[in-house]
Amino acid sequence: MNPLENNVIFITGASSGIGKATARQLLESGAKVFDFSRTNRLADELPGVTSYLGDVGSEADVQAAFQLCQDTYGPVDVLINNAGLGLPTPDLAETDLETYERMMNTNVRGVFLCNREALRQMKPRQKGHIVSVISMAGQRTNPGAPLYCASKFGARGLSSGLADQVLKLGIKVTDVNPGPTDSNYWGDRPVAREKFLQPDDVARVIAFVLSQPEFVVIREINFDNMKFLAG
């Protein structure tokens, strides 16, 4: 029996990269996939997906998206917090407040808002799984992106505390922490993409986490491309 079949999976930031690869794999596993992204409706590319365009940092958008998901498929079984924003800040003294607020709005506030709405659908049934794509930037700092690391450390702290809070209710919380991944995050920066993970690699890890037996709890999973670690 496929453990993901007919699961209602709400995924943020599924218009490209890790989110898109994950949505595709889960759809192929028989899940009911709901895409909540700022741009580019995934439903236009993947038949069977329902999309809502909005901002994870907007309380009204988050509430409307979760309501549409419930009206379309039923209550959420799995939330995947994948939406993220990364902006380089190599000189903090020259970084404007807008850059800070944009990253915190997506990477921390957005995770809080989506977690809260998902829990409102999961707690009455005492079941559910929240997966947050945090990144290794939530565990090791980067001098070129201290604010991005701060946002990811914040999201990881939120996730860890929540895991302790809801485990007794039958709800699982997992952090998925990939190392550098070949995605739009890097833009045109001169980086060694051949040493990075691919979005499909991360999607397979997420699918692995979700396919475990109900009694198995994975709190955190860290992984990198071997070539990146070797230097």
Q: Catalytic residue positions?
A: 135, 148, 152
Cβ atoms of residues 131 and 115 within 8 Å: no
Structure tokens that stand for 127 in this block: 């079941």
Edge to edge, the sheet with strand 8-12 lists 50-53, 32-37, 8-12, 78-81, 128-133, 171-178, 220-223
Tell me which residue has tokens 């993947």.
46
State both tokens at 160. Answer: 């860890």
DSSP 198: P
The β-bridge partners of 221 are: 176
Which residues does residue 9 pair with via DSSP β-bridges, in sequence order?
33, 78
- Looking up tokens 């979005």, which residue turns up? 199
Residue 203 phi, psi dihedral angles, 5° rounding:
-60, -40
